[in-house]
């Protein structure tokens, strides 16, 4: 399986990082070695002093497809979960300044903790799903799919032009504002519509 992620999909987050609003989705990949499951702890890597949390809704692909048209995109995902797109911001900023790929700042080992998945049929309106991240019991990030620049179907369609999507692939759909550094001992709890999806510790 592969993990595909969307950057700059929430206006307030684009602003906080002083990035430009994109005309098309900004896409990057993480290898399967980035995946962390079952609330396993996240170990801070020694190559960064500024690892940020980015809470994101994650879609799971349910069948193979490429060049998927937007109107049929909904047939390719039927489950949703919640994850963190951990980002070594200091490294990323350095690479961005040089115009180099961010890969190592985004796709390193354990950089993609993901919760269990639930059927999308549980949700009445995919364009109004709220999610939250609490760090040490304090609300740090709040998002809602209605704030997305590119919705689920647009993302699936766009990504599938370049990468054939396969069953089991995961799509991180972008983070809302409020990203900040994590520290040893922090507890991260993620919620979709008030229901807890993950709960793990930084070590």
Residue 137 CA to its chain's centroid (Å): 21
What is the size of the binding site for Mg ion (CB under 5 A)? 3
Residue 54 binds to Mg ion (criterion: CB under 5 A): yes
In the bound state with Mg ion, the residue whose beta carbon lies nearer, of 111 and 175, is 175
Across 96-202, the runs of DSSP E, i.e. the strands, are 112-113, 118-119, 130-135, 138-144, 170-172, 180-181, 187-192, 195-201
Q: Tell me if 175 sits within 8 A of 86, measured CB to CB.
A: no
Residue 141 binds to Mg ion (criterion: CB under 5 A): no
Give me the least distance between CB of 84 and Mg ion, in Å please.
9
Residue 175 binds to Mg ion (criterion: CB under 5 A): yes
d(CA 48, CA 93): 11
In the bound state with Mg ion, the residue whose beta carbon lies nearer, of 65 and 176, is 176
Site for Mg ion in 72-111 (CB under 5 A): 85
Site track 8-47 with Mg ion (rule: CB under 5 A), x = hit: ----------------------------------------
Give, in degrees to the nearest 5, the angle at Cα 158 between 156 and 155. 40
Stretch that binds Mg ion, among 10-18, 75-83, 143-151, 172-180 (CB under 5 A): 172-180
Give me the least distance between CB of 173 and Mg ion, in Å please.
9
Give me the least distance between CB of 106 and Mg ion, in Å please.
8
Contacts of 133 (CB under 8 A, 6+ apart): 53, 55, 84, 139, 140, 141, 142, 178, 188, 189, 190, 191
Across 62-160, the runs of DSSP E, i.e. the strands, are 77-84, 87-88, 112-113, 118-119, 130-135, 138-144
In the bound state with Mg ion, the residue whose beta carbon lies nearer, of 14 and 165, is 14
Give me the least distance between CB of 55 and Mg ion, in Å please.
9
Point out which residues bind Mg ion (CB under 5 A): 54, 85, 175
């Amino acid at each position: 399986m592969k993990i595909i992620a969307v950057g700059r999909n929430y206006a307030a987050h684009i602003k906080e990082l002083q990035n430009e609003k994109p005309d098309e989705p900004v896409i990057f990949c993480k290898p399967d070695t980035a995946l962390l499951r079952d609330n396993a702890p996240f170990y801070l890597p020694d190559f960064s002093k500024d690892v940020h949390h980015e809470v994101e809704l994650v879609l799971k692909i349910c069948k193979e497809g490429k060049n998927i048209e937007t109107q049929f995109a909904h047939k390719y995902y039927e489950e949703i979960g919640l994850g963190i797109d951990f980002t070594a911001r200091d490294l990323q900023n350095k690479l961005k300044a040089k115009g180099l790929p961010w890969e190592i700042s985004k796709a390193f080992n354990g950089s993609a903790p993901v919760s269990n998945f639930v059927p999308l049929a549980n949700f009445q309106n995919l364009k109004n799903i709220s999610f939250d991240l609490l760090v040490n019991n304090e609300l740090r990030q709040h998002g809602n799919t209605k704030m997305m620049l590119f919705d689920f179907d647009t993302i699936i369609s766009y990504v599938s032009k370049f990468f054939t999507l396969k069953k089991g692939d995961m799509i991180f759909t972008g983070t809302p504002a409020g990203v900040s550094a994590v520290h040893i001992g922090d507890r991260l709890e993620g919620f979709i519509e008030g229901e807890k999806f993950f709960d793990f510790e930084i070590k």
